[in-house]
Amino acid sequence: MKKIKGKYDVVVVGGGIAGVSASISAKRNGVNVCLIEKNYSLGGLATLGNVNVYLPLCDGMGNQVISGIAEELLFLSIKDGYSKIPDCWKDKGDIEERKKYRYRVEFNPVSFMLSLEELVLKEGIEIRYGTKVCDVIKENDSIKFLIIEDKEGKGLIECKVVVDATGDADICYFSGEETVSVNTNVACGWFFYFDGEKIKRCALSEKYDPYNEIVPDNNDGFSGIDSKDITDQILKTRKYIREKIEKLRKENPSIFPVSIPTIPTFRMTRRLKGKIELKEEDERKFFSDSVGMIGDWRKRGPVYYIPFSSLIAVRTKNLITAGRCISASTAWDIIRAIPVCALTGEISGTASAILCKEKIESFSLLDIKNLQNILRKQGILL
């Protein structure tokens, strides 16, 4: 019999931006929360992966479409003064200028990592680092226990609700949900280097297909859900980094690397196949259960509404997703951005708290209008 190592209302699995946001929103809504992270820092790709661009909270046409915790974390990311919010996006900023400059910033990954951890602890959330969920135990189509593995071996975490913020839909997969996976990821590794005068970033990456149909340049693609596959991607990425540094050093011998990614840098791996799969063709389509809206970080103009149905599991009553593993097909490349991960995290955390406090059996039975009203009060733009 495995040891029960904790009992919580809400367990969030994955300490990236989506998981951090989900944890904070659940805790602020009055339930006890545990955040499980297999690595030893928070922030995921934004920090451990050196992807230090907080993509736009606007639609590119001068309109802010994402707020709430997503905006709070944007402020947090530049708390150290690494960069600043564009003047036009400050209070009483020039509306016409907002059409020219998007509401985005760049940040220092290390500072952001430290600030995220400080915030999560300040909120009273329990963090479990070095802990991996390796399976689930279900009763009556709900997750009763998460089977975890840590330094002590395997154990159980008892929970009322689970948020899958793994980025890879691991909990959905363990729970028997229908998932979609792709093997079109490429070698990718943003790194920082010192050139003798200042630190610079190199956004090193092979070309990728945002629709996951082909691997550009006929290279081998990576899925990100197989250990050998993950290792191969990391090794190929680091080979490219070494080659790039060698090339840079030929031009400037003073160059040396400062920071490279410490996790695999996959864009899209595995996701939930939910009742609704958000598509690029759904641009400006308002769903009856819409719980937030987003822009397209790649271009100006499009606005998408996030249906609650794209977050919740189909076969598992108390399971919800957040971040890049929500149910999105051709819009997958859009929803994996930092602000969308934070937004869907806040939505999932808020919904999880409601489920626990009101003792609702399933996310599918949640009163959507009540959820929408609560999200509005929290500052989310619907």
* Residue 156: pLDDT over 80: yes
β-partners of residue 192 are 201, 259
How many whole angstroms separate alpha carbon 256 and alpha carbon 353? 47
Over pLDDT 70: what percentage of the chain?
A: 100
* Residue 218: pLDDT over 90: no
Mean pLDDT value across residues 208-236: 92
Angle, alpha carbons 283-284-289 (nearest 5°): 105
* Residue 130: pLDDT over 90: yes
What residue spans of 252-378 are helical by DSSP H?
332-335, 338-357, 368-377
How many whole angstroms separate alpha carbon 331 and alpha carbon 33? 30
Token code pair at residue 19:
């998981």
Q: Give the pTM.
A: 0.97
Strand, coil or helix: what is 221?
coil
Strand, coil or helix: what is 263?
coil
The mean of the pLDDT values for the chain is 97
Instruction: Name the one residue in this structure whose structure tokens are 């992270």.
Output: 37
CA separation, residue 127 to residues 10, 25, 145, 208, 265 (Å): 12, 15, 17, 34, 23
CA separation, residue 339 to residues 22, 68, 175, 213, 218 (Å): 13, 10, 27, 25, 32
Query: Do 124 and 130 contact (CB within 8 A), yes or no?
Result: no
* Residue 217: pLDDT over 90: no
* Residue 45: pLDDT over 90: yes
* Residue 256: pLDDT over 90: yes
Token code pair at residue 6:
């904790």
Q: So what's the pLDDT on residue 220?
A: 81
- The predicted-structure confidence for 67-119, as pLDDT tens digits, reads as follows 999 999 999 999 999 999 999 999 989 999 999 999 999 999 999 999 999 99
Strand, coil or helix: what is 7?
strand
Q: So what's the pLDDT on residue 229?
A: 94
β-partners of residue 141 are none
Q: So what's the pLDDT on residue 202?
A: 98
Query: Do 311 and 327 contact (CB within 8 A), yes or no?
Result: yes
How many whole angstroms separate alpha carbon 178 and alpha carbon 184? 19
* Residue 367: pLDDT over 90: yes
- The predicted-structure confidence for 264-323, as pLDDT tens digits, reads as follows 999 999 999 999 999 999 999 999 999 999 999 999 999 999 999 999 999 999 999 999
pLDDT band for 8, please (50, 70, 90 cuts). Answer: very high
Mean pLDDT value across residues 220-245: 96
Q: So what's the pLDDT on residue 1?
A: 66
Query: Do 335 and 96 contact (CB within 8 A), yes or no?
Result: no
Strand, coil or helix: what is 359?
coil
Strand, coil or helix: what is 265?
coil
What residue spans of the chain are helical by DSSP H?
17-28, 69-77, 95-98, 109-122, 170-174, 227-251, 332-335, 338-357, 368-377
* Residue 219: pLDDT over 80: no
Q: Are strands 142-150 and 303-307 parallel, antiparallel or unpaired?
A: unpaired
Strands, E assignment, 108-205:
126-129, 132-139, 142-150, 153-164, 179-181, 188-194, 199-205
